[in-house]
Structures are given as C-alpha cells and as structure tokens.
Amino acid sequence: MPIHVAPASSPEPPLWPYCGSGAVEVRDPVGCRGRRVDPYGECLAHLADADRAAYLDGLVPGSRLDHRGTPFTGDTLWRLLDRLRDRATGEPRLGAAFFKDAVFSTRAVFNGAVFSARTVFDGAVFSAEADFGGAAFSSYAGFGGAAFSAGAGFGEVTFSGGAVFDEAEFSQEAVFRRTRFTAHAGFRQTRFRGNAVFDEAVVSGEAAYDGAVFAARAEFGRAVLDRAMFRGAAFAGVASFAGSRFAARADFEEAVFAADAGFDRVVFSADGAFTGAAFGARAGFSAAGFEGCAGFDRAVFSGRAGFDGAVFSGRAGFDAAVFAAEAGFSGAVFETAARLGPLTCRGVLDLSGVRFGGPVTIEAATTRLACGRTRWESTAALRLRYATVDLSDAVIDHPVSITAQARPFAGAGETDGAEPVLGDADPGVRMASLRGADAAHLMLQDIDLSGCLLSGTVHLDQLRLEGDCPLAPAPSRPYRRGLLPVWPAVRRTLAEEQHWRAA
C-alpha cells in the first residue's frame, strides 16, 4: 500500500512531473510535489507496494536517482539505499542524485554513502537528524537553501567537487569536523543556530562564508583554509580559529564578533583582512603569524585585544582602529611595518618587548603607552596624544623621537575634535620613566617630564629636548634661617627628588 507522508504544500506546482497525491481543490490544489517514478504516475512515497518493489528491484549500485520533492520516511530511504549497496564496500553508491525539495520526516542516514556524480539536495527539508558522516561526494554537491531542523552530521566527509550550502539553515549543531573540501565550499548567507563545528576541516578551494550567521559557537580550530571569505559574517557566540592556517587571503572585513574571538596561533600565509570588523569582547591573536598584510583599519575592539607574540611580516594596518580597552602587543615582532596607527586606545597600549625591524612611525591616542624593553632596530617617530609613556629598559640604537601631537590625528576616529573613547582627558603627553634606557639617540618634544624617573638612564646628558618639556618645580615652602624666613630658589627638580622629599 502507499506510504502516507504529509506533502510539502506550495501554491505553485513544481517544474517536474509531480505526483499530486492528496490534492484538494482550493485548499491544496497541487498535493504531493514528489517527482513521479517513471513509468508510474506517483512518487516513491505514494507508489503501490508492487510498483515500488518493481522500481527498487531495478536499481543497482551507481544508478541515477531523481526524487525531487519526494517525502521520505526512514524505512523508504533505507530500502532505497539498501538496493544501491556496493557488495565490495558494503556502502551505498549513488550515481547522479536529485533530492531537491525532498522532505525527510525521520532520521536521514547517508553514513558512508558514495555519491559518484552530481548530487542536489537544494531546498531539502530534514525534520530529524541528517547524518552524512564519512560520505564521499565525487562531483558537485548542492545543499543550497536546505533546512536542517535537528543535528546535521558531515564529519569526515570528502567533497571532491564544489559543495554549496548557501542560504541553508541549521537549527541545531552542524558538524563538519575533519571534513575535506577539495574545491569550492560555499556557506554564503548560511544560518547556524546551533554550534558550527569545523575543527580540522580542510578547504583546498575558496571557503565562502560571506554574510553567514553563527548564533552559537563557531569552531574552526586547527582548520586549513585556502581563500577564506567571511565578509560581513556575524558571530553571536564564541568564535574559535585557534591553530588554524589560512593558505591564501583571509577576508573578515565588516565581520561582527559579539563574544570572544580566538585567532591565537593562527597562520595567515597571505593577507589577513579585518577592515571594519567589530569585536564585542576579547579578541585574541596571540602568537599569530601575519605573513602578508595585516589589515585592521577601522576595526573596533570593545574588549581586550591581544596580539602578544604575534609576528607581522608585512604591513600592519591599524589606521583609525579603536581599542576601548587594552591593546596588547607584548613580545610582538614588526619586521617591515612602516606605520602603526593612527589608532585610539582607551586602556594600555602595550608594546613591551616589541621588536621593530625597520623604520616606523607610530601614531596613537592612548591613556598609557608601555614600551619596556621595546627594541627599535631602525629609526622611529612616535606621535602621541593623552599618553603616559614608560620607556624603561627600552633598546634605542637608532634615532627615536617622541612628540606630543597637538591636534587629533586625521581619520583616527575623532568626533568634533575629541577622540571618542578618551573623552575630555588632557591630550598632553607625559613621560613616566626612562630608567635603563639609552638616551643618546632619543629626542623628546613637548613632553611633560615632571613625573619622569631618570635614575639609571644611560647618556642622559645627550637627551635632546625640544619645545616645552617641563620638569617638576622645587618645593616653594619657606624655611627659617635665624629669625627671618627664607624662600627657596626657583628651580626645577627631577622626579626622584620629589619622591625623596615626600619620603
């Protein structure tokens, strides 16, 4: 007897010869949209038992299938795949397979199946679990617009042709762990409502996630991606790319990370583009390797941004970047970067232990600049606003100038002349310490030295001061010599004397 499965309703009939079972005038004039099984007048779900058996008996491994729009139960699918089972491998082997707009009302199990020709699941509906674990697609595989209502398992699948999941929707966890895409992998405008797991996935062609929405965790740990496109993607949960490798350009321009974004130990073999990206929580790029250009122009970091130990082999673009908290570059290496900034940082801009391999200009509006043990291997010009600077033990073997910038940096995120995250603080620049630094090649212009610790500074007599670089005034309290009050001479003092007198 026919298998009764509720057909997908639509006012428009499909383009293929369809079953029409269950059609009701006015309410459902189309009825079942399943593709007719030639030479019969019904789809696989609505065939009479004898006709279905005759059709299945005619199938062999590698047969072409066309079940577009067909409703499937687990039993129907199992019987279909069982007839396609390869005796040598024990797994189903399908030829060209067309399941466009098919409806799987129970668990769809394609584990280990071999799809040897073009395969189309575009618009298919999986109402229960969809399991393709270990399957192999030898040609194009299309899942565009498919809807997965339960878990979707594509772990360890091999896609030898293009794989397209554009505009698909995964309502629960989608697993692509250790999946191999040897050509294009398309996830444009795809919605992942559950965890999206791509750990150790390998994409040899373009990986396109432009406009994708990740509502939960996005896990790409130790993945290897060729050209990766995440332009405008939205990550509502934690995004983890730790240990991954991008073999070609990685494009995250205008992407939004609402939770922690982890790119620690990632290798960008070409350009890493994060222009205009927004990081709502922690952004981790510790020990990352940028072998091409690193582009963070106009990026906004709301939480701590950690680039500690990162290596920038090419351009390091942070033009108009805004750091609302700490920006950590401790131990990073800028091999050839000619410019850093102009950027704005509300917290500490930590350049401690950083090595600059070539001439560099640093422009920053930041509350504090930490340059302890920073090494400049060529000339450097620091143009600063708002900053308290610590140069303790800095290695300055070439001319380095530090200048207080009077006006806001052009394009550095200023609003009506005031950097937004710094508010109405004093835009002047103060030196906190030169202890242990060699001042022979150092020039300061318009820097407040009233609180600067200078003991232990090497070649202090060669320090070059230009503009207004005030020291702290001496105490002005009078003291008595005999019966008469004596006022101390007007002079300037070092911060160490201020500390000694206050002790």
pLDDT score, position 312: 98
Say yes or no to pLDDT of 352 above 90: yes
Instruction: Render 386-413 in DSSP notation, one character per residue.
Output: S-EEE-TT-EE-S-EEEEE-SSPPTTSS
Radius of gyration of the chain (CA): 33
pLDDT score, position 10: 58
Q: What percent of the chain has pLDDT over 70?
A: 89
Say yes or no to pLDDT of 499 above 60: no
pLDDT score, position 145: 98
- Give 117-165 pLDDT, tens digit per residue: 999 999 999 999 999 999 999 999 999 999 999 999 999 999 999 999 9
The stretch 280-307 carries a mean pLDDT of 98
11 cis-preceded (ω within 30 degrees of 0): no
pLDDT score, position 4: 40
359 cis-preceded (ω within 30 degrees of 0): no
Across 1-14, b (16+ Cβ under 10 Å) vs e yields ebbebebbeeeeeb
- Give 401-422 pLDDT, tens digit per residue: 999 999 998 765 544 444 666 7
pLDDT score, position 471: 82
Per-residue tokens: 246: 């991008």
The stretch 360-378 carries a mean pLDDT of 97
Which contacts (CB < 8 Å, 24+ apart) does range 181-190 have? 181/205, 181/207, 182/158, 183/159, 184/208, 185/159, 186/144, 186/162, 187/212, 188/212, 190/165, 190/166
CA–CA distance, 461 with 488 (Å, rounded to integer): 26
- Give 247-270 pLDDT, tens digit per residue: 999 999 999 999 999 999 999 999
CA–CA distance, 370 with 353 (Å, rounded to integer): 9
CB of 59 within 8 A of CB of 83?
yes
The strand pair at 327-328 and 305-306 is best described as: parallel
Say yes or no to pLDDT of 385 above 90: yes
For residue 232, the tally of other CB atoms under 10 A from its CB is 20
Say yes or no to pLDDT of 8 above 50: no
SS3 110: coil
pLDDT score, position 502: 46
Could you say which DSSP state residue 299 is in?
Answer: -
Quick one: how far is CA 178 from the chain centroid? 19
Per-residue tokens: 392: 């303790």
Instruction: State the chain's mean pLDDT as an integer.
Output: 91
Q: What percent of the chain has pLDDT over 90?
A: 83
